[in-house]
Amino acid sequence: MVRGVSTPRGYNPLDVRHYREFLAFVVNDPRPVRGNSPYTQQVVPNFEVGNPELFRLLAVTHRVAPEDAPPLPGTWKPVLTDPAPPASPPLLPASPERLPAHTLTEAVDPRGRAWIVPRAEPMPADGALDALKQNDFSRTVLVTSDAAFPPPSG
C-alpha cells in the first residue's frame, strides 16, 4: 500500500464466487471454494502458480514476496528490496518484529485488464477448470449465464 500497488484480493466490489474459484484454478485446485479457503481471505497467502495462462488473466502487475519465493510466470523486474520489512499486525505470539528480505517486482509485459474478443462460448456445467485451461482467451470468452445476449445495436 505504501508503494501504491493494488492487491489482486482485498476489498473489491467485483469479488464474487467466480473470482474466488478462479484464484483456486490458478493454483490448479478444482475443489469447491469454501468460506475458510485461502482464496476467500483478504490477503492471499503465497502460492505456486499451477496454470500460468490463467494467472496472466488476473492482470497482476506487481508482486511483493520473500526473496526465495518461487518465480512467477513471465518476465519480472525487481523494483525494490526491503532487507527487513516490519511484520504487519496481527502478530501471533512469538512472531518476529521483522520479516526476512522481501522484493517488490513488476511484470515486464502484463496482460491488459480488458480486451475485445470475437467469440463467446458457454462455460460447461462440469469441468470448469479444464475448460479454462483449454480456452484461448485472446479469441473466446466463456460465459456462465444462461440469459440470452441482447442483439447488437449497430
User: Which tens digits make up the pLDDT trace of 19-64?
Assistant: 778 888 888 888 887 776 777 766 666 678 888 888 888 888 888 8
Cβ neighbours of 12 (radius 10 Å):
12
What pLDDT score does 135 carry?
94
Alpha helices in the chain (DSSP H): 17-26, 52-57, 128-134
User: Which tens digits make up the pLDDT trace of 81-97?
Assistant: 999 988 766 556 777 77
What pLDDT score does 137 carry?
92
Cβ neighbours of 105 (radius 10 Å):
20
